[in-house]
Amino acid sequence: MEKNLSPAHTWHFFRTGGLDQALIRTGADIANLASLDQKLWAALSCPTQGIRFDAKTLELLDSDKDGRIRVPELLNAVAWLSARLTSLDPLTEGSDTVNLACLNPATPEGQTLLANAKRILANLGKASADAITLADVGDTAKIFAETRFNGDGIIPADASEDPTIQKTITDIIDLFGAETDRSGKPGVNQAKTDAFFAAASAYLDWTGKASSDPAVLPLGDKTAAAAAALAAVRAKIDDYFTRCRMAEFDPRAAQALSRTDADLAALAGMELTDSLPALASFPLAKIEAGRDLQLLTGINPAWAEAISAFRENAVNPLLGADCTALSAAQWLALKAKLAPFDVWTAAKAGAEVAALGNERLAALLKSKAHAEITALIAKDAALEAENAQITEVERLIRYHANLVNLLNNYVNMGRLYNPKEVAIFQVGRLYMDARACNLCFHVDDIGAHSAQAAASKCCLAYCTLTRPGSKETRTICAAFTAGFAQTLWVGRNGIFYDLDGKDWDATIVKMVDNAISIREAFWDPWRKIAAMISAQVNKMLAARQTAALTSASAKVATVGTAANAPAEAPKKMEGAALASSVAALGIAIGLIGSAIGGLVGVISGLPLWKTALGIVAVLLIVSGPSMILGWFRLRARDIAPILNACGWAINRRLRFSLKLGRLFTSEAALPCNSERQLTDPYADDTSTRNMIIAVLALAAVLAGLWFTGVLDHALPGCMKRHPSACAVSAAQAPAVPAAPATTP
């Protein structure tokens, strides 16, 4: 990379969300990433799981296999490319096709990679091609289909031209299983070849012991049948002779060890067969002191068949056909004669190759098959270093196709801030509450994620995803950045579409409530006032209802007594109580009227523009603080805590504007050029309600105007709130006596 590194490289930055981010536009920008101060990188590491990115590329980048892509690993990838390509400019295209002319033949690394790319194309029958694609290196079976050796240390049967060796390789595959060669054919490796010949040698040694020691096979080929027949009844015959010795030791044991009458009576109610388990548990024959085992008569029916086979295969060949009763001494001798066979059988080795037979195995061990197969495997393994470059060709193509995409989600967040692109941590789109939410993140642990993500100041909805007819489940975190938060709640359902086009049922299981919009902040105080008034009204009505029910219950309970008691005269309100009630009612009406009248009086004395300004002032007094606080909260929204909770090491704050928030979460809107019918034929008839409200409002206004005396000039004297001064003085002036009449 040093050849492309320029200390004087000019970096270009773009500004989004109040953040300056480095642009990745040219190959020189990529080559000089090491010179870019890491404090200016958007991220310092990202996880290899839970993001929408090519998994194989992430695996190749993750050199220490810790599940994270760190800055040094990205710089190492850039250095690796710089040593093999003439220019890094083609990386900006993000193509999975690499022109061979871009490989640098002037460097050893580039020369080797070019040679391997050409060899792959030649194996595919594309020797004249001037470019190699990801599809070309994706099918290794096709690449090596026509090659005998490919460097994987596995050889198929056709790796040798000798039919004998081919047959031996086939035998190894049949008996020990196949290893898959890079060509896709079944083959063998060195381990299985060695195991095969070791098993063959061990099996021949084992069978040789039987030939050299006559005691091992006293009956020759029939020894195995005799040993099997004896093994089938060994435990039962041992049990029989032990019981007989106990009866010899103490005569009382004979009856007890032969089972009791109750045991026999228990069988009476059963449907007996020779295979009945309860019958098989009885002694083999009658228990008596010093008694021989009669082989022809008196045998427990459950064991009759096994004893017959034992007599035919073991007793008659070893003790003679005239042996019809077996003594304890004969039993011990019989076991001793077959004991060497049991020991030899237990030491059996090389059973895996027994099917080939001693003659075939002996021929293989005398031949040079083992050495020749080993030589073929060594010849194949010698090409490992050369053919390992195929992985390097794949690395080149995947870096060529995907590295710039990762850089634009790592060095900068260009994909996040471009509405036409999708960042690698965005996993799909959630449709819910007439909104489409694009900021959806994969989540493994909701509790741990929400504890960190709450610092983002975003409204977050954690959803579980399920697919109909499938057991697949997922968990996501969706950030709602437009609309209203009050319409989202735990249990609400929606539909989620992942980037593969699959649809999932989404259900909110947890909410992190935060401000979403200025519009919501404006209405929030009014909503709280309405909720408070509603709560008080409900409380008052509930109290009245409770009192009414209590009163009615009391009246029903005393109806009998009241019927028999003399009727009481209705109580009349005392003069003082009546006066106080009327006074209280008058004061209340007066206060309400004064308030309305004062407001109307103030408004009526102002010009229209001042009245409108006053109304705006009232709205601002109520909603202004909430809107200002909401604006600051919305400006503080930051995606970085959400990504940090997902396993990213975000290096800088990732804020977004209100405009960008409306792009991250789009609300329902009618299509362009659509027609809208405003009349709802099924709407409730509210004309009566509206008329009553209008009449009451008009009455309140008139009362206020009357109370302030605004209407005095239009009302007759008796209805005026403030009578005129002349009228009052005339009414209050003393009567003037009439002058005495004079006589002319």
In a domain, 264, yes or no: yes
Domains in the chain: how many in total? 3
Are 275 and 267 in contact by the 8 Å Cβ rule? The answer is no
| 477/442 Cα distance (integer angstroms) | 7
> Between these two residues, 190 and 183, which has the higher pLDDT value?
190
How many angstroms separate the CA atoms of 150 and 16, rounded? 52
- Between 656 and 497, the more confident residue is 497
Q: If you average pLDDT over residues 8-16, what whole number do you get?
A: 89
> Which range has the top average pLDDT, 96-100, 351-355, 693-697?
96-100
The tokens for 581 are 């009630």
Q: Note whether residue 17 is domain-resident.
A: yes
**Domain membership flag for residue 129:** yes
Q: Which helix (H) or strand (E) holds 440?
A: strand 440-442
- Residue among 510, 733, 709 nearest 605 (CA): 709
pLDDT for 428 beyond 50? yes
Residues 286 and 231 in one domain: yes
Residue 2, pLDDT above cutoff 50 = no
Query: Is 364 or 141 the better-scoring residue by pLDDT?
Result: 364
- Do residues 252 and 348 share a domain? yes
**Both 349 and 464 in a single domain?**
no
On whether residue 3 sits in a domain, the answer given is no
Asked if the structure places residue 362 within a domain, the reply is: yes
Cβ neighbours around 601 below 10 Å, total: 17
pLDDT over 80 (residue 82): yes
- Over range 564-578, report the average pLDDT: 50
List pLDDT tens digits, range 330-345: 999 999 999 999 999 9
Do 373 and 391 have their domain in common? Answer: no
On the question of pLDDT at 627 being above 60, the answer is yes
C-alpha–C-alpha distance, residues 61 and 107, integer Å: 22
pLDDT value, residue 734: 56
pLDDT of 123-148, one tens digit each? 788 889 999 999 888 766 566 665 67
**Per-residue pLDDT, 253:** 83
> What phi and psi, each to the nearest 5 degrees, are found at residue 724?
-65, 155
Question: Cα–Cα distance between 65 and 48 in angstroms, integer?
Answer: 10
Distance, CA of 103 to CA of 119 (rounded, Å): 14
Beta-carbon neighbour count of residue 460 at 10 Å? 25
412 has pLDDT over 90: yes
Mean pLDDT computed over 520-528 = 70
Shared domain check, 367 and 235: yes
Mean pLDDT of 7-19: 84
How far apart, in whole angstroms, are the C-alpha atoms of residue 328 and residue 743? 184
d(CA 478, CA 425): 12
Cα–Cα distance for residue pair 62/73, rounded to 1 Å: 7
For residue range 438-488, what is the model confidence (pLDDT) as tens digits? 999 999 999 999 999 999 989 999 999 998 888 889 999 999 988 888 889
What gap in Å lies between CA 61 and CA 52, rounded to an integer?
15
pLDDT tens-place string over residues 388-411: 777 889 899 999 999 999 999 999
Query: φ, ψ for residue 612 (rounded to 5)?
Result: -60, -40
Same domain assignment for residues 17 and 129? yes
* Contact of 438 with 665, CB cutoff 8 Å: yes
User: Are 363 and 215 in the same domain?
Assistant: yes
Lowest mean pLDDT among 193-197, 229-233, 538-542: 538-542
pLDDT for residue 1 is more than 50: no
Residue 630 binned pLDDT confidence (cut-offs 50, 70, 90): low
Same domain flag for 122 and 193: no
- pLDDT bin (cut points 50, 70, 90) of residue 66 is very high
Range 375-387 average pLDDT:
81
- Please give the structure tokens belonging to residue 455: 């610092």
Residue 681: inside a domain, yes or no? no
- From the centroid of its chain, how far is CA 345? 54
What does the pLDDT read at residue 618? 65
Residue 119 has a pLDDT of 84
pLDDT tens sequence across 19-62: 899 999 999 999 999 999 999 999 999 999 989 999 999 999 99
Q: Identify the domain boundary among 381, 415, 449.
A: 381
For the four alpha carbons of 667, 668, 674 and 676, in that order, the dihedral sign comes to negative
Mean pLDDT over 347-376 rounds to 90
Is pLDDT above 80 for 622?
A: no
Query: Which residue, 93, 689, 180, is CA-closest to 400?
Result: 93
Nearest Cα to 469, choosing from 436, 495, 504?
A: 504
Residue-level pLDDT at 743: 45
Instruction: Please provide the size of the chain in residues.
Output: 744
Q: Report pLDDT for 143.
A: 64
Q: Which of 281-295, 602-616, 696-710, 722-736 has maximum average pLDDT?
A: 281-295
129-161 as b/e: b if 16+ CB within 10 A:
beebbbebbeebebbbeebbbbbbbbbbbebbe
Is 704 contained in some domain?
no
Q: Write the CA distances from 148 to 119, 178, 292, 368, 737, integer angstroms.
A: 14, 17, 71, 21, 149
> Which DSSP category does 85 fall into?
B
On the question of pLDDT at 574 being above 70, the answer is no
What letter would DSSP give residue 117?
H
The predicted structure's pLDDT at residue 744: 41
Whole-number Å distance between alpha carbons of 192 and 189: 6
Greater model confidence, 460 or 562: 460
Q: Is 199 among the domain residues? A: yes
Do residues 196 and 267 both lie within one domain?
yes
Secondary structure of 305-361 in HEC code, one letter for each residue = HHHHHHHHHHHHHHHCCCCCEECHHHHHHHHHHHHHHHHHHHCCCCHHHHHHHHHHH
**Where do the DSSP E strands lie in 146-263?**
155-156, 179-180, 186-188
CA angle 491, 496, 500 (to 5 degrees): 155
Give pLDDT tens digits for 237-268: 999 999 999 988 888 888 888 887 787 778 87
- 394, 360: one domain: no
| Cα–Cα distances in angstroms (integers) from residue 446 to residues 330, 476, 508, in the given order | 77, 9, 12
Say yes or no to pLDDT of 607 above 80.
no
- Same domain? For 174 and 302 the reply is yes
User: Looking at the structure, do residues 306 and 356 belong to the same domain, yes or no?
Assistant: yes
Sole residue written with tokens 């037979």: 357
Tell me how far apart the alpha carbons of residues 460 and 686 are, in angstroms, rounded to a whole number: 39
Token output for 655: 């804020």
HSE-up of 489 (CA within 13 Å, CB side)? 2
**Total Cβ atoms within 10 A of residue 24:** 23
Supply φ then ψ for residue 24, to 5 degrees.
-110, 95
User: 656: domain range?
Assistant: 428-514+637-667
